[in-house]
Amino acid sequence: MKSATATRIRLDIAYDGTNFAGWGIQPNHRTVQGVLEEALGLILRAPSVVRLTVAGRTDAGVHASGQVAHADVTTSMAPAEIHRRLGRYLGSDSDVAIHAVTLAPPGFDARFSAEARRYEYRIMDGSDRVNPLERHRAAILPNRLDLDAMQDVARRVTGLRDFGAFCKPRAMATTIRELQEFEWKREDDNTLVASLQADAFCHSMVRALVGASVAAGQGRLSIGDLEKLRDGAKRTSRFKVMPAHGLCLNEVIYPPDDEVGARAELTRTRRDLPSD
């Protein structure tokens, strides 16, 4: 029999966030982390809790098609077998699924090795024929939005900057991020989709950026006011943070395997804006 060894595994995960109180474990609440850690513990017959480290902690109601986590386990089971057993345990009708379980390369950290994350936000606007199949993955607004105004917002917030106006403050946490991509498009006549990519997102940042776009698309926020708020980098009530259920984490981007350790060390260094 193959002896048990300590190893780090990578899990590629998707979930419908509707009935979860977010990713992170909370007392008396069903969470993605809680469901998966329980499943791993039972499958591996672990004597203690198997802890998952995730690329990005999602809030209650937020979905994911490309979430990534890692876990340090002691087992003789191959990653492919862990994957198979997890799928069997969760079942085909589960609201969380494991797309892959693989051996993590040396130095890999699901959170700190990531180079970028990609999110999508969906809005249905200006239709009196709402598709009920979309109600758990799109925010529904009664009036049609101005796509050009929303695109203007996206262009003016892209780049490396302090996103304090769009982030929920957290003690000892920086709000400096590099928003690498932000684009709006009409998927069909009544559906708007935002695609955003950044090196990392601070708490509520995507939903606040979408909220600023919506305010501009409704004619309630001028570009001049947006720029003042952006440059002031202070939390504001001039626009709403949009509902969680319109948001989905689509992808976590990592460097080549031989660079993941160096990337993790770099990310742990606190970011500051470059001086002029």
Active site residues: 59
Task: Tell me which amino acid residue 99 is.
Answer: H
Query: How far separated are the first and last CA of the chain, in Å rounded?
Result: 62
Task: Tell me which amino acid residue 11 is.
Answer: L
Q: Phi first, then psi: what are they for 151, rounded to 5°?
A: -65, -35
Q: Which residues pair with 196 in a beta bridge?
A: 119, 182
Dihedral sign of CA atoms 134, 139, 142, 148 in order? negative
Separation CA 110–CA 23 (nearest Å): 14
Burial of 171 (0-12, 13-18, 19+ CB in 10 A): exposed
Place of tokens 């989709």: 193
233: CB partners within 8 A, 6+ apart:
161, 162, 163, 164, 165, 175
